Amino acid sequence: MLRPPSPPVDPRRLRHLHRVGENAITAVIEAEGTKVGTAVWDAGSDAAQFAADVRALEKQKAPVNYATFLTGTVTATTDALNAHTGTWQIAYSIPGIREWLMKQSL
């Protein structure tokens, strides 16, 4: 049986659900006893500030790192239409994040 198309989803609701999901899984990880390093960064930072931000997060010596960007700084910094898609443009331009990602293995 065919279903009618879903109504459009308000992008503000998607951002909220995405953030709830990230925070929820982080809470589960912590509740299970794993330390989570956290940080809030300005998406408009320069390379030197991002390097300092990465070092500060690494100093927490947590196996899980969770950094978010200050509200409003992603869309002000990128040409992205929303904060979620804009985070990728910024995050993967930060050498410390790329280096950490490439060190990971299964």
pLDDT at 9: 47
pLDDT at 42: 95
CB atoms within 10 A of CB 37: 16
Are 35 and 62 in contact, with CB atoms under 8 Å apart? yes
Q: What CA–CA distance (Å, rounded) separates 32 from 27?
A: 9
CA angle (50 as vertex; 65, 20 as ends), nearest 5: 40
Residue written as tokens 């790192």? 65
User: HSE-up of 22 (CA within 13 Å, CB side)?
Assistant: 12
Please say whether the dihedral angle defined by the alpha carbons of residues 22, 24, 26 and 29, taken in this order, is positive or negative. negative
Full pLDDT tens readout for the chain, 106 residues: 455 554 554 555 545 545 567 888 888 888 889 999 999 999 999 999 999 999 999 999 999 899 999 988 887 777 777 777 788 889 999 999 999 889 887 7
